[in-house]
Amino acid sequence: MLGEAVATWAMDGAYPTLNLYVADATYGVRLEPNAETRVSSPLGTLTDYRTNADGFRGPDLPAVSRQASDRPVPGRVLVVGDSQVMGWGVPEDATFSARMAALGNAEVLAVGLPTWGPREYALAVAELVPRLRPERVLVVLNTTNDWVEAPVPNVRRTTAKNGWARNVDVPVEVAAQDTSAVERWLLGRSHLVLALRLAFDPPRPTTLPSRLPLRLFEELARLAAPSPPHRSKLSADLIQARAVAHRYGATLVPVIIPMDVEVDPRAWAKYGLPPRDPRPLRALSAGLVADLPETVDLHDALSGRPDASFFLPDDDHLSAEGHLAVARALSRPPSEARP
């Protein structure tokens, strides 16, 4: 017990990444409901996370709506996405969903989970729109990985064990088998065990893997190629989600968050790479806008400024400043929010 207490104190009660994952046969992973944890970034920034009864960050989602079957709840907005929607690396009240609620009169419900991709966004819309009855649905697309992940559902990419997300390298039905509570605590929550593991396998340098942006550039021709009958590989899932939203009287709007290097040349230093022309990446968003003209592209809203960065210094996620910029852009009337 003393060793555990000392290790917890030495690590500020934090873990190197999120440790609340549970395997899920539909989504690949979800997060443990009603749980709390703390994560330390590569540069040592501490972020606290709590999940609600549905396993998403933030306060509990409303119960089943009592609205008439053909009427959405006035002013209610459902935001669906991955770790950008979750607010990786920023306080809960600094996420753009929380900021949107503070900026206007809307009720904003955030459903974001790391590792999810376009297929999971469509599944979440189908699951939650009938229950929550939003007036508007924002499906937030992350340029960093959503075009790469689009062809492969998360059940074939990610599972979980002892709270940690891991790549699927064995059949899902085997990987998803539960473990004992003692094993889950020792290998998922114990700071003493974590300290011993890190001693034998030290953390990586703070520079992000250079493959992250290079993958987009190297695979751009494939990722931007049409996916008949659509121009974008993301369109099929989004059109399916839009049909569900419309069935319940909601408007669905895709929202594109560009990659950090696409809008801020300073971001290349995080990857240990020299800057290169980011304009070819615009082909990804152009294809989606061609299929779904209602799409909001936040490229201009997140263009870097000399006095502030809209992305974290040691990560590819939005900073608190970036979340505020997104909130302001999405809180404007739809016609003004589009490029």
pLDDT digits (tens, 9 = 90+) for 93-121: 999 999 999 998 789 999 999 999 999 99
CB 244 within 8 A of CB 126: yes
CA distance 230 to 249: 25
- Output the average pLDDT for the chain: 89
CA distance 267 to 273: 9
CB 231 within 8 A of CB 288: yes
Per-residue model confidence (pLDDT) at position 196: 76
Q: Please tell me what DSSP assigns to residue 318.
A: B
Is the predicted pLDDT of residue 185 greater than 80, yes or no? no
10 Å CB burial of residue 151 (0-12, 13-18, 19+) is: middle
CA distance 286 to 306: 27
- Cα 308–310–316 angle (5° rounding)? 130
Is the predicted pLDDT of residue 28 greater than 70, yes or no? yes
Distance of CA 34 to the CA centre of its chain: 19
CA distance 281 to 215: 11
Lowest mean pLDDT: which of 26-30, 56-60, 71-75, 188-192?
Answer: 188-192
Per-residue model confidence (pLDDT) at position 203: 63
Closest listed residue to residue 160, CA positions, set 192, 184, 189, 134: 184
**What is the CATH architecture of 2-337?**
3-Layer(aba) Sandwich (3.40)
- CA distances for 202 relative to 196, 198, 208, angstroms: 10, 5, 15
Is the predicted pLDDT of residue 337 greater than 60, yes or no? no
pLDDT digits (tens, 9 = 90+) for 249-298: 999 999 999 999 999 988 999 999 999 999 999 999 999 999 999 999 99
Residue 150, number of CB atoms within 10 A of its CB: 21
Is the predicted pLDDT of residue 175 greater than 50, yes or no? no
Lowest mean pLDDT: which of 82-96, 145-159, 192-206?
Answer: 192-206
- CA distances for 4 relative to 36, 101, 126, 163, 173, angstroms: 18, 40, 43, 18, 33
